[in-house]
Structure 1
Amino acid sequence: MPWKATTTMEQKIEFICEWRTGKYTITELCRSFDISRPTAYKLIHRFENQGCEGLREQSRAPSKHPNATGENIVKSIIKLKTKHKFWGAKKIRVLLFKEYPKEIVPSVVTVHNILKKNGLVCPQKRLRRVKPVFPIFDPKSCNEVWSAHYKGKFLMGNKIYCHPLTIADSKSRFLFTAKGHYKENLKSVKAEFTKVFRKYGIPKQIHTDNGSPFGSVRAIQRYTQLSYWFIELGITPVFSDPAHPEQNGRHERMHRDLKAACAKPSAYDLKAQQRRLNRFVKEYNHVRPHEALDMKTPAEAHNFSTRPFPETIQHFDYNHNYKVIKVTQNGAIRWRSYYWVYLTIALKGKYVGVEELGNGIWKVFYRNVFLGFFNERELINKESNIRLETNLV
């Protein structure tokens, strides 16, 4: 029969039992259990004060550390995390510099560990590593490119959908507006853009996706009625490639924060929902540090546009070698009195310029923006109406 192996805890209990009998001296017990006298007295002292629990292995870590984070800073970290529950350690640490001297503010890792210790870090799903996509539109200064988009609709408490329209500067990430609408239509979008243009000026370009009312993959150059209004204001519309939202990734990333802050859960009606959207815009622009801006806020990085919003559309004079033709109500131009070249219904009532390239090829412009080509010979030979083409075959 093999000898039974005893654990350290069992030997400690056996030592205390033998000591309590009073039959043995401390010297005899130390010799029997092969321990030192200080160890024996320490075990006896712990047993007398804490009972059997005092015999368990004690942590050797010091109870106090000279470089430990102050209790007041720990409370501030927890308070900030409670207020901004979707922020990480980097952003919370930046706010600590506003309350405490630089020398005592802990590192990002320490802030993260404090949050984790207090159960304030939510484990995130590990994302699949993909090939990085570099942005096509990468502005070098403020107001060079703005981005606009309708964040996905969501149900409010009254079972009506809210469609938040967002407009932001692509360089500084400054969010001009987050406006809740009942529908995604031209009237609502144009009214909100007008309000933003009057306050902040106009950009050189506006980057959107291909959804209505911003763009249409079936239209000439993807331009819509809203696009032609931008052109009349001196703004160039630019679009992401179809099915490639990552080309406007910085705007989509902002939408993720907006959804977490305003749509989970949503408010009861549009009025209450708009108050949430307004609070998010204020916090996003003036409080939340942005890593891509060296932990500055968008408000600190943004400058107002030097191009004011024109209240009236200026008349445009085409070059003298252009033929100026009015687009009819059906969205086409009449050619040689007998034929029609269809453009788009979005241009009805407006004037386009037509320039001859030679061999019957004509280029069509709206103001200073190229729209497409048409072949006069094809039009006459087929004796039928044709559509404008964006590329020569």
Structure 2
Amino acid sequence: MPWKETTTMEQKVEFICEWRTQKYSITELCKAFKISRPTAYKLISRFEKDGIEGLKEHSKAPQMHPNSTKEDVVKNILKLKEKHKHWGAKKIRKLLFNVCIEDDIPSVVTVHNILSKNGLVIPQKRCKRVKPLFPIFDPQHCNEVWSADYKGKFLMGNKIYCHPLTIADSKSRFIFSAKGHYKETLKNAKAEFTKVFRTYGIPKQIHTDNGSPFGSVRAIQRFTQLSYWFIELGIMPVFSDPGHPEQNGRHERMHRDLKADCAKPSAYDLKAQQRRLNHFVKEYNHIRPHEALDMETPASVHLFSTRPFTERIKLFDYNSKFKIMKVTQNGAVRWKSKHWVYLTIALKGKYVGVEELGNGIWSVYYYNVFLGYFDDMNIRNKQTSIRLSQNLV
């Protein structure tokens, strides 16, 4: 028969049982259980205070640490996280400087550990970062490039879709507008851009994707009616490559925050949804620190544009070397009374400039923006109308 193995806890219980019989002295019990008198008195004291539970092994870690985070700082961290549920440790720590003494503020790692200990950190799936091979832009100054897009539609409580139009400065990340629309139309977009231009001035470029009403992959240089309006104002439209939203990654990243704050869940109707969008813009611009700005807010970094918005667009004065032609209602220009060169319906009623390059090749411009080429000899040979080409053949 094998010897029965006993655990430390069982020996402690057996010691207390023998002590309670009062048949043995402390000295005899210490000798029998091979423990010291201080250990014996400590076990008896714990038993008298907490019963059997007091005999369990206690953690030897110190209950207080001289470098531990103060309780009021921990409360402020949890309070800020409750208010800004989608913010991480870096942004929460930045806000602590407004409510705590600087010497008491812990490191980013400590803030993260406090949030994690309280179950306030949601692990995210790490995606492989792909650096764009051909980035469209990398602005060095405010108002050099603005980004605009319709964030993906989402259902409101009344079962109607909301289409938020967002406009932001690509350098400072300052959001000029987040306007909810029922439909993604030229009229809605142009009205909101006009409002923003009147308040903040105009940029040098506006970067968008290829969706309506911003661009079209089938159009000349992907320009639409909205694009030509930008050109008339002195703004150059630029586009991401089709199927490459990462080329405007900073704007797409902002959309992720907007979706988390305003669309999960959404409001009941467009009026209530717009209040949420306005609150998001105010918080994003004036409260939320941004890592790309050295933890400053976009509002503290952004500068107003020095280029004012022109209410009335003047006719463009083409150079004398250009032949000026009017685009008809069908989107084409008449060439030598018998032939047609099709441009785009978006330019109907507008005037374009045509410049001869030689050998029957002509280049077409709208204002100072190049649109494409056409071959005069090709029209004569085919005796038909042709489309404008972006390649010199």
TM-score bin, normalised by smaller chain: over 0.9
Correspondence for 1:127: 126
In 2, the alpha carbon distance for the partners of 1:273 and 1:69 equals 39
Residue in structure 2 matched with residue 271 of structure 1 by the alignment: 271
Q: Secondary structure at the match of 2:159?
A: coil
Amino acid at match of 2:131: P
CA distance in 2, matches of 1:310, 1:213: 21
Q: Which moved more, 1:62-71 or 1:187-196?
A: 62-71
1:137-216 map, 5 Å: 137-216=137-216
* 8 Å contact kept, 2:136–2:239: no
Q: Does 1:248 align with 2:248?
A: yes
**CA deviation string 1:63-116 (max 9, x = no partner):** 222222222111111111111110111101101101122111111111112112
Structure 2 match to 1:232? 232
1:226-285 Cα shifts (integer Å, max 9, x gaps): 000000000000000000000000000000000000001111100000000000000000
The correspondence of residues 57-68 of structure 1 with structure 2, limited to 5 A, is 57-68=57-68
Query: What is the match of residue 337 of structure 1?
Result: 337
Distance 2:143 2:389 in 1: 32
Q: Identity of aligned pairs, percent? A: 77
Corresponding residue of 1:312: 312
Q: State how far apart, in whole Å, the 1-side matches of 2:385 and 2:2 are.
A: 103
**Partner Cα separation in structure 2 for residue 136 and residue 367 of structure 1:** 23
1:347 alignment partner in structure 2: 347
Q: Which runs of at least 4 in structure 1 moved beyond 6 Å after TM superposition? A: none
Deviation, structure 1 residue 129? 2.3
Alignment of 1:65-84 (within 5 A): 65-84=65-84
Specify every segment of 5 or more residues in structure 2 that has no aligned partner in the other structure, as ranges. none
Q: For residues 78 and 172 of structure 1, what CA distance do their matches in structure 2 show?
A: 29
For 2:246 and 2:190, locate their aligned partners in 1 and report how far apart those are by CA, in whole Å. 25
Question: For 1:359 and 1:347, how far apart are their aligned partners in 2?
Answer: 27
Question: Deviation string for 1:150-188 (max 9, x for gaps)?
Answer: 000001111110000000000000000000000000000
1:287 maps to which residue? 287
Equivalent residue, structure 1, for 2:90:
90
Code of the residue aligned with 2:10 in structure 1: it is E
Which stretch shifts more, 192-201 or 11-20?
A: 11-20
Q: Who is 1:53 aligned against?
A: 53
Q: Secondary structure at the match of 2:288?
A: coil
Shift of the alpha carbon at 1:13?
A: 0.8
TM-score, normalised by the number of residues in structure 1: 0.98
Match of 2:11 in 1: 11
The secondary structure found in structure 2 opposite 1:231 is helix
Aligned to 1:21: 21
State the partner residue of 2:38: 38
Residue pair 2:339, 2:379 contacting (<8 A) in 1 also = yes
Tell me the residue number matched to 1:221.
221
Task: Measure the CA separation in 2 of the matches of 1:214 and 1:117.
Answer: 46
- Secondary structure of the corresponding residue to residue 148 of structure 2: strand
Equivalent-residue separation in structure 2 for 1:129 and 1:318 (angstroms): 49
2:3 partner SS = coil
Q: Secondary structure at the match of 1:177?
A: strand
Question: Once the 2 structures are TM-superposed, how far is the Cα of residue 130 of structure 1 from its aligned partner?
Answer: 3.9
Cα offsets for 1:135-158 (capped at 9, x unmatched) = 431100000000000000001111
**Whole-angstrom CA distance in 1 between matches of 2:127 and 2:309:** 44
Helix, strand or coil at the partner of 2:146: strand
Q: Name the structure 1 match of 2:113.
A: 113
Q: In 2, distance between residues paired with 1:133 and 1:7?
A: 62
Task: Give CA-to-partner distance per residue, 1:10-40, whole Å, 9 cap, x none.
Answer: 1111111111122222122112211111111
Aligned residues: 392
Per the normalisation by structure 2, the TM-score is 0.98
Letter aligned with residue 9 of structure 1: M
CA RMSD of the aligned region, Å?
A: 1.0
Aligned to 2:377: 377
